[in-house]
Each structure stands twice: as structure tokens, then as C-alpha cells.
Amino acid sequence: MGKLSFEIVTAEGVVHSDEVDLLVVPGIDGEMAILPSHAPLMTMLQPGELIVRKGGEDTSIFVSGGFFELMNDKVTILADSAERVEEIDIARAEEAKKRAEEKMGLRTQTDIDAARAEAALRRSLMRLKVVERRRSRR
């Protein structure tokens, strides 16, 4: 079977690039498994886990959401941030979660602040979930 070439691009540049057998991506409507020879596809992603399978081995990457594009076995993910599971700082994610929960508890904030706190909460929860899932797979 062929391979998928994929790249994750953030504001920092290309943070990940590889030739792989399978990708599972956190689509806006749920997880999508992508194999080589898939039809062209463009969609949005939600904050979550990207699973990369290569030579029978799976690796996990947190993506903060963004855009997914697939054409001719080439996948490009544009995300605000992306970290390999081993790069996730658990204490930092827990702090971010606490801060977001505190902000969401304030009654005085504007809708924009509330939406921002909710998005930050979702990112921190997903970072922790990616770490947790990795542990439970071992």
C-alpha cells in the first residue's frame, strides 16, 4: 500500500513532517481515519489527538484544532499549536485548566472572554486526555 505524506504547519513553521501509513485526525464532526488513496478532503479540526501510524507503531500528537487538507496522498494540517505527547507539560496544562475554570466562573466577563476561557479549557483538557490515553494504551 502507498504512503501518506503529511505535514503540520504552525506559526513556528513546519513542526512535523513524515511519510506514514495511517492518520486518525480529530475532525470537527469526530475522528476520521485516513488511509492512502483517500478522496480529496478539506475540513476543520477540533482540539484533540492526532494518531500517526507508521510501520505498525502509533504516535500521538496534540493539535489545537485548525485546518486539514488532503489531496493526492498529501496531508497538510494548519494548527495554532501542536505537540507530540512526550512534549506535553502536564503541570502547565493543569495550570491552564485551573485558570480557565476560574475565568469561566466569573460573572462579570464579556462573551468574548468567556469564549476564550472555554477554548483554553478545551485545549488544556485535551492535552491532559492525550497524555492519559497514551498511558492507558501502554
- 79-105 exposure pattern, b = at least 16 Cβ within 10 A, e = fewer: bebbbebeebeeeebeebbeebeebee
Binding ligand ATP (rule: CB under 6 A), the pick from 8, 16, 20, 64 is 64
Residue (38 or 129) nearer to ligand ATP, CB:
129
Q: Name the minimum Å distance from CB 64 to ligand ATP.
A: 5
- Check residue 89 for interaction with ligand ATP (CB under 6 A): yes
Question: How many residues form the binding site for ligand ATP (CB under 6 A)?
Answer: 12
Based on the shown chain and the rule CB under 6 A, indicate whether residue 46 belongs to the binding site for ligand ATP: no
Q: Which of 87, 113, 118, 132 binds ligand ATP (CB under 6 A)?
A: 87
118 lies in the site for ligand ATP, by CB under 6 A: no
Contact predicate 47/26, CB 8 Å = yes
Torsion of CA 117, 120, 122, 127, to 10 degrees: -160
Grid cell 470537527 is found at 28
d(CA 67, CA 6): 13
Binding of ligand ATP at residue 3 (CB under 6 A)?
Answer: no
When asked if residue 81 is in the footprint of ligand ATP (CB under 6 A), the reply is: yes
